[in-house]
Amino acid sequence: MKKSYIRRKENVWLMIFVLPALMLFSIFVVYPFISGIHYSLYDWDGISPDKLYVGIENYKKLFRDKHFMSALWFTVKFTVLTVITQNFGALIVASLLDSTNRLKGFLRGVFFIPNVLSGVIVAFIWGFIFTKVLPAAGQQMGMELLERSWFSQSGTAFWSTIIVSFWLGTGYLTVIYLAGLSTVDANVVESAMLDGISPLQMLFRIKVPLILPSIIVGVFLITMNGLKQFEIVFLMTGGGPYRSTETLALLSYNTAYQKNNFGQAIAQAIIMFVLVAIVTTVQLAVLKGKEVES
């Protein structure tokens, strides 16, 4: 009885300490989400007190809307490519930095610098590079591919977003993977080197399985950022040309604030939430299974 009473008392105190955070989470996350589901069932401009109930019609319209399907396809392509390029790039850079003792701390800081810059500054820098620097260099070198502004064609505009995302995200992942590589047992590495293993085999067959928890974090973060991407495309391309670089987040923003259709915009946002939840849940389950196997 005494142990049971003590346990209940501890649980009460735990709930008291958790209650403020739970209240804030409910006010700023749970309530807006439930309200969003409610408003997605209406045809509403976001300002007028009059709302027309349309049920799930906003959701039905999405899958008949070519712009929504285009934004969905672009978001999926963008996410897949950023996950692959950033994680592989960060693994290689982290492995190179881990193999050297000189300037490791300095170079780690250099690679992390893009993450401390404002998104507006990043968009301005890269926008200037893609619209002024590269065309000028193309004219000087006679390279027709570089002579045009990268934002004038859908193909080059897409790759410009991938390049900027790679520049922003790789340094952050490099720091995470460097921390993981620092925990690898030196004896394991020395044994593999004595067996004549190549550097690439060392990285992908020995080190990667040993730092799988760090890789899970990296893949999860980049997947989340890719599916929710807004800042890069909004500031650099604005979703152009001809809405070819419009993500789901940007489409929802444009629907709400340009078309004044908040009901449909919230429906798009909820579909994006469901997509993020499904992808990340499946991804974590698969990667956790790989971690157990290794």
As given in the structure block, the two tokens for residue 128 are 């200037």
Is 56 within the bounds of a domain? no
DSSP labels, 108-145: HHHHHGGGGS-HHHHHHHHHHIIIIIHHHHHHHHT-HH
**Span 35-80, pLDDT tens digits:** 989 999 998 888 888 888 888 899 988 888 899 999 999 999 999 9
**Span 163-193, pLDDT tens digits:** 999 998 888 899 889 888 888 887 887 887 8
As given in the structure block, the two tokens for residue 6 are 């003590």
Residue 52 bridge partners (DSSP): 43
Higher pLDDT, 278 or 4: 278
Is 41 within the bounds of a domain? no
* pLDDT at res. 5: 64
Residue 42 bridge partners (DSSP): 53
Residue with tokens 């997605």: 40
Rounded to 10 deg, the angle between the 31-39 and 262-293 helix axes is 130
Higher pLDDT, 198 or 167: 167
With the C-alpha atoms ordered 206, 209, 213, 218, is the resulting torsion angle positive or negative? Answer: positive
- Which residue range is the domain that position 232 belongs to? 64-290
Is 230 within the bounds of a domain? yes
Return the SS3 of 59.
Answer: helix
As given in the structure block, the two tokens for residue 168 are 């922003």
**Span 223-240, pLDDT tens digits:** 998 999 998 899 888 888
Is 255 within the bounds of a domain? yes
**Single pTM value for the model:** 0.86
* pLDDT at res. 85: 94
Which helix (H) or strand (E) segment holds residue 108: the answer is: helix 104-112
Is 13 within the bounds of a domain? no
Measured CA to CA, the distance from residue 264 to residue 45 in angstroms comes to 10
Tally the domains of the chain: 1
DSSP labels, 186-223: HHHHHHHHHTT--HHHIIIIIIHHHTHHHHHHHHHHHH
Q: What is the CATH number of the domain that holds 83?
A: 1.10.3720.10
Has residue 101 got a pLDDT over 80?
Answer: no
Is 87 within the bounds of a domain? yes
Is 235 within the bounds of a domain? yes
Is 20 within the bounds of a domain? no
